[in-house]
Structure 1
């Protein structure tokens, strides 16, 4: 067994039995949650034409659902253009993706309540810090913290960007597109362990002028 394979097995074993800092309510097994994911989840590339944004335009908001490995935006990015991604609490639980910034978002990994920029080391037990250390190298995007929100362009291997770290309570910071194609988002996690993820946030994408 390779070192990488051993780390993967160790991380999967550890996550499955870890004690949690905070318990997050997990609605995934309810019929309401399954219907919600089926209705509003975007796990496949958008069929038909994609939205191309002019400067200052914001696309129709959509849901980023933690248990889906890809959440497609319906927006085509253009390499070299600058964009901003805003996250918010849904205005209506399980309803249409209307963004409301007045409330907290639910973003949970294996029962651990995380932030959009991933697991916060200050909130983790020593055991969870160990899990983060062994899981991060085999996560889908190593530069980002475990469970941070990551964006990527469909079919472009080097287009990933850590969106979670660009977002805070005060503002969202723009990023430069590193490829042409549809933007999709995901929670940065070990590829085989999305079944214990839950939570969802509303996402809005705006094209912005390049920063000075």
Structure 2
């Protein structure tokens, strides 16, 4: 049962990456440097909005199933990590229903709520990277050193990207110069890491 859940989680997370890249091929007026990833859901192009929603839901499904995988592993003992992965999936599933304010539009209560949800998913996604890697090492016994090295690199990339995000928010002139790239680098790191973990759990 856990292996099957992990396999579907890996497929959904891989789909998330494909759709994430597709958004940059068909951006719908959203610039990857000046605009946030959330802006795709507020694009004036309906196809871009739909693509953004499906990308978010595929990631949500991936994290929900990864959380279910962790909670059903033999022996238990990983309730905390499994629960946070479920919360992460729930937050991402909700976000398309609360889109951000579009570029240049006035700030609304909905936009503020979206920002709070985004902060929650950034925080939870990063905080589960380390525990997920340790879980993979525990379940598989001795995974290939290259796998653990890649997960460690992704953890570092996520940390650097998250720091850049915070700096870009605090230093206003940087917002349109570095926030978009930092956010995209962060999303790639926190999506690749659970994809690797889910794949490892499916094969264990």
What's the TM-score, normalizing by structure 2? 0.28
**Whose strand proportion is higher, 1 or 2?**
1
**Whose helix proportion is higher, 1 or 2?**
2
Flag the structure with more relative contact order, 1 or 2, with Cα contacts below 8 A and sequence separation at least 6. Answer: 1
What's the TM-score, normalizing by structure 1? 0.28
